[in-house]
Amino acid sequence: MSSAPFEGHDDVVLPFAVEPLDVRGRIVRLGASIDTILSRHGYPDVVARVLGEAAALTVMLGSSLKFEGRFQLQTKTDGPIEMIVVDFDAPDRLRATARFDKDKLDALSGNAPKTGDLIGSGYLAMTIDQGSDRSRYQGVVALEGQGFEEAAHQYFRQSEQIPTQVRLAVAEQFENGRHTYRAGGLMVQFLPSSPDRMRQADLAPGDIPEGHSSHDLVAPTEDDAWVEAKSLMGTVEDHELVDPAVSSERLLYRLFHERGVRVFDGLHLHEECRCSETRIMSMMRRFSPEDRRDMVGDNGRIGVTCEFCSRFYDLDPAQVEAEITKAEESA
């Protein structure tokens, strides 16, 4: 296995290939970046873990962009965690936020809820934004109680027709006198040169009655190489994705050393919000003058808090109106 420049480091995405199995993939370890995001908001532990999974998945998908665009993962659901938004701004910036219902969370206390229980039903949208001058692409997956791993499998099976397996994990550890969060993810995709080899087992026939011609169709046989890759993925344990003592390279070697795994240059990422006073002013222009007047607090100022990084902007209403008037006159 070839070495990578960030061996054993956190906040790194490593692309890799297992050529004898026609498999390509990515593995990510998030350390300081995800801990900064989760600790800043003081989320309940179950919320932090779900948001950590979403961030790891977003990084694996977004880091494959070949241009300086944005990959966004967003959920809107009826579960205790009502909304999640994770942005990966290529090539290396990550931010994330979640909104939750405390009463619904409290109703789950005493249990060990799964990710799907916390998210509930709704949708997962994955958006690629190439910039203002280029079109956006969005894929949507219905969420019906499944977690992010199964939602990713469903998306690639239905929208991309690429056999894909995803593993995600989040853990809390005690380090330097404080508790810190870590997250990890591993994704493999079967990409043979012949499309005929990419066939996958069909979904269950559901409510089709027995005796109907569609009920007795023989499911296509999956390629042996993909069956082997999935079997190896099934041996991955959560701690291997987040334990700082088990590097990404070591895990890949354990999984694929008999077949030979090639690791490509890693990508180092960091937590960074793109909010700014200029962007806040641009947002204020979307509101009517009446709405902006209603935003003025008892202290005579407009206060805006970024949902991603919690930065607080203290704005002078007169300056806001002057900036908006100036922008409209120059438009």
Structural domains of the chain ordered from first start: 12-197+223-271 (3.55.30.10), 277-330 (3.90.1280.10)
Q: What percent of the chain has pLDDT over 70?
A: 89
Cα–Cα distances (Å) from 202 to 139, 190, 222, 302, in that order, read 21, 16, 10, 55
- As a whole number, mean pLDDT of residues 285-298 equals 94
Q: Does residue 91 have a cis peptide bond before it, meaning omega lies within 30 degrees of 0? A: yes
pLDDT surpassing 80 at residue 184 = yes
| 202-220: average pLDDT | 53
Provide the pLDDT for residue 197.
72
Share of the chain above pLDDT 90, in %: 76
Query: What's the residue count for the chain?
Result: 331
Mean pLDDT of the chain: 90
Does residue 209 surpass a pLDDT of 60? no
Judge whether residue 110 has pLDDT over 70.
no
- Res 150 pLDDT > 70: yes
Q: What is the pTM of this model?
A: 0.88
State yes or no: pLDDT of 131 exceeds 90.
Answer: no
Distance between CA 81 and CA 104 in Å, rounded? Answer: 9
Nearest-angstrom CA–CA distance, 14 and 219: 34
Q: Scan for tokens 């996958």, then name that residue.
A: 200
Which tokens sit at 301? 């100022």
Which pLDDT band, with edges at 50, 70 and 90, does 18 fall under? very high
Average pLDDT over residues 15-42: 96
Which pLDDT score is estimated for 67?
78
Alpha-carbon span 223 to 226, nearest angstrom? 5
Q: Give 3's pLDDT tier (boundaries 50, 70, 90).
A: very low
Residue 257 has pLDDT above 80, yes or no: yes
Q: Which residues contact 319 (CB under 8 A, 6 or more apart)?
A: none
Helices (H), the chain: 32-41, 45-62, 102-107, 115-119, 148-155, 224-233, 238-242, 248-256, 277-284, 289-294, 317-330
Distances (CA, A) of 28 to 269, 275, 283: 10, 25, 33
Q: Which of 292, 273, 218, 250 is nearest to 88 (CA)?
A: 273
Cα–Cα distance for residue pair 271/276, rounded to 1 Å: 15
d(CA 331, CA 323): 12
Residue 200 pLDDT greater than 50, yes or no? yes
On whether the CB atoms of residues 256 and 237 are closer than 8 A, the answer is no
- Pair of tokens at residue 268: 């180092």
Mean pLDDT of the 32-57 span: 96
Q: Indicate the pLDDT class of residue 176, thresholds 50, 70 and 90.
A: confident
- Tokens 């799964």 correspond to 114
Q: How far is CA 26 from CA 60, 104, 148, 203, in A?
A: 6, 35, 16, 26
Exposure letters 44-60 (e unless 16+ CB within 10 A, then b): bebbbbbbbbbbbbbbb
Angle at 87 between CA 268 and CA 295, to 5 degrees: 135
Query: What pLDDT does residue 115 have?
Result: 95
Name the band, by pLDDT with cuts 50, 70 and 90, for residue 179.
Answer: confident
Determine the angle formed by the axes of helices 248-256 and 224-233, rounding to 10 degrees: 140
Q: How far apart are CA 96 and CA 116, in angstroms?
A: 19
